């Protein structure tokens, strides 16, 4: 029976994993697929190079669900799918465990922007590779929601809305300050924090529209933004997801 396990690898551990994979028995195929392919397109690609009866049926869906594409390595020694942190642009097929395209992707020091935000706290950073080169972290006063009704509650809510607007405008100003010197060099942008607050800052800050085509899926499972959270998020951005299959 074929069993699978999933795990995340940091940038350095992913590169080490690829080194080990490359040394495995060469009786294998390597198939790289970009994001945006339909399940039928993925299945057609798999059928051309693999005995699909021997491939777990969930592979096509895993590849289709990835917003950065995936690299499949399938052979007698190792069988795994790697979802990289950054998009792969082209389809590629090779005999053996050909890890070079993925290794090249992971070794490139992309310029990445992180905007982490929750109501009342933010962290903005620009990194070169895994090195943070500039950052701004701060807070803003926003009262909790009023739990009682009546006219006083309406006044309180209007006051709270003004606090939120002021906070978002401040954050937008800091985003411009941090990003403008690096705007042309930025490869990718990621948001993190509360989904609703991310939507608010994108609506409130038209400057962010310049980076819409370079935006990757958000990091939503982070605590309140602060410097240590920002630094840890950079490592999270560079993590690759691995699904590996073996006979149980």
Question: Over the stretch 73-121, which tens digit does the pLDDT of each residue have?
Answer: 999 889 999 999 999 999 999 999 999 999 999 999 999 999 999 999 9
Residues in the chain: 248
Looking at the chain, which residues constitute the CATH 3.30.960.10 domain(s)?
Answer: 2-108
Which option is the CATH number for 111-237: 3.20.20.80, 1.20.1440.230, 3.40.50.970, 3.30.420.60? Answer: 3.30.420.60
CB 110 within 8 A of CB 124: no
**2-108 has CATH 3.30.960.10 classification:** yes
Residue 184: other Cβ atoms inside 10 A: 7
- Distance between CA atoms of 43 and 176, rounded to whole angstroms? 44
What are the tens digits of pLDDT across the range 10-39? 999 999 999 999 998 778 999 999 999 999
- Run of H or E including 149: none
Rounded average pLDDT over 172-184: 96
Structure confidence at residue 220 as a pLDDT band (50, 70, 90): confident
pTM of the model: 0.90
Looking at the chain, which residues constitute the CATH 3.30.420.60 domain(s)?
Answer: 111-237
* CA 216, 220, 221, 222 torsion-angle sign: positive
């Amino acid at each position: 029976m074929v069993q699978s396990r999933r795990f995340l690898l940091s940038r350095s551990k992913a590169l080490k994993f690829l080194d080990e994979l490359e040394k495995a028995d060469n009786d294998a195929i390597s198939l790289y697929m970009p994001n945006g392919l339909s399940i039928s397109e993925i299945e057609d690609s798999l059928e051309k190079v693999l005995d699909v009866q021997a491939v777990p049926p969930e592979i096509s869906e895993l590849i289709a669900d990835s917003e950065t594409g995936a690299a499949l390595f399938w052979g007698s020694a190792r069988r795994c799918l790697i979802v990289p942190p950054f998009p792969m642009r082209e389809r590629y097929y090779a005999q053996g465990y050909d890890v070079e395209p993925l290794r090249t992707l992971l070794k490139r020091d992309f310029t990445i922007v992180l905007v982490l935000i929750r109501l009342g706290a933010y962290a903005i950073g620009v990194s070169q590779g895994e090195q943070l080169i500039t950052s701004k972290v701060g807070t803003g006063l926003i009262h909790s929601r009023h739990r009682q009704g009546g006219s006083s509650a309406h006044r309180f809510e209007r006051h709270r809305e003004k606090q939120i607007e002021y906070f978002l405008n401040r954050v937008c100003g800091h985003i411009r300050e941090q990003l403008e010197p690096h705007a042309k060099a930025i490869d990718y942008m990621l948001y993190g924090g509360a989904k609703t607050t991310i939507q608010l800052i994108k609506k409130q800050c038209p400057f962010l529209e310049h980076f819409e085509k370079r935006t990757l899926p958000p990091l939503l499972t982070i605590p309140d933004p602060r410097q240590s959270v920002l630094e840890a998020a950079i490592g999270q951005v560079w993590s690759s997801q691995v699904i590996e299959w073996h006979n149980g």
